[in-house]
Amino acid sequence: MSQPVVTRVLQHAEASLGFRLFERVRGRLQATPEATALYGDVERLYGEIERVRRVSESLRRKGAGRLRVAATPSLANPLLVPAVRGFCARYPDTQVQVLTHHTGEIVDALLANQIDLGFAFSPPRHEAITCEPVAAGHMLLAVPRDQPLRPAAGAMSCRCAS
């Protein structure tokens, strides 16, 4: 877009909103506090528009599409990769990208619309993300038989019968 077109679009947006979005400071545009306050919502809105675009593209291609999935390192290789292989065998027209991220990075990627799904052990706490349990299990500590378990001071201890 040319600079005059950008100026007109910005002027129209500011007139519609009823406040300025940018101030000129030493020849450069600087976001106003109002623009900064709107930025997160606008970014989420563009992410949703991108999601709708991807879904409509997938529908246009009759189900073919792209799925971007992230998982924590401890889940990605042993669990997610085999599951994705099965999914790809069942839906060969769908391109699947598997990424490894820590839980905080999964939250950021979901909010930025960089991934479609995320898998983690603990549910991320964010009002814009819905979490659903997909599996449950038990975690055990394994040590050599001749090595006694010594709990830290104040910690609970237990011993499994073997």
d(CA 127, CA 143): 40
Q: Which residue has the higher pLDDT, 101 or 158?
A: 101
Lowest mean pLDDT among 4-8, 21-25, 35-39, 148-152: 148-152
| Whole-number percent of the chain with pLDDT over 90 | 25
Question: Residues 9-49: pLDDT tens digits?
Answer: 889 989 999 999 999 898 888 999 999 999 988 888 888 78
* Mean pLDDT computed over every residue of the chain: 83
- Tally DSSP H helices, then E strands, for the chain: 5, 5
Q: Where are the domains of the chain?
A: 1-31, 39-138
Q: Which residue has the higher pLDDT, 100 or 154?
A: 100
Question: Residues 58-84: pLDDT tens digits?
Answer: 667 665 678 899 999 988 888 888 888
* pLDDT for residue 41: 87
Lowest mean pLDDT among 19-23, 128-132, 134-138: 134-138
- Write the CATH number of the domain with boundaries 39-138: 3.40.190.10
